[in-house]
Structure 1
């Protein structure tokens, strides 16, 4: 098993090689990825009052949303 691991340790898929080449040609891609990530995920923490307000304003969803009340 160790021999198999040593033989394939340096293997890189075509996809990995493509991404590495793309990042070498366009070094600003990485900064753009981090900027996009920060827009979607890095949010300022909510105060306890804001958390309570959001929790209270949620509308309770029925167990099976596609069932009509009738």
Structure 2
């Protein structure tokens, strides 16, 4: 059974194969937005301040 791969994915694979220098740029971009160090204390504060979601978020009554 063949695994589906979109045209965009094929294009990006071929393009990255032809432009290996872009791997470093890709890593820089990822580090800028996603790969951030995590602080356990901040995560605990976020968890403590979390408000439970309503069963039906569009309800107008509390």
What is the TM-score with the length of structure 1 in the denominator? Answer: 0.51
CA separation in 2, counterparts of 1:52 and 1:27?
40
Q: How many residues align?
A: 55
* Higher-RCO chain (CA-CA 8 Å, sequence separation at least 6): 2
**As a proportion of its length, which structure holds more helix?**
1
Aligned to 2:59: 67
How much is the aligned-residue C-alpha RMSD, in angstroms?
A: 2.9
Q: Which residue of 1 aligns with 2:45?
A: 53
TM-score normalised according to structure 2 size: 0.54
Gaps of 5+ in 1: 1-12
Residue from 26, 29, 34 that aligns with 1:33 = 26
Q: Which has the larger radius of gyration?
A: 1
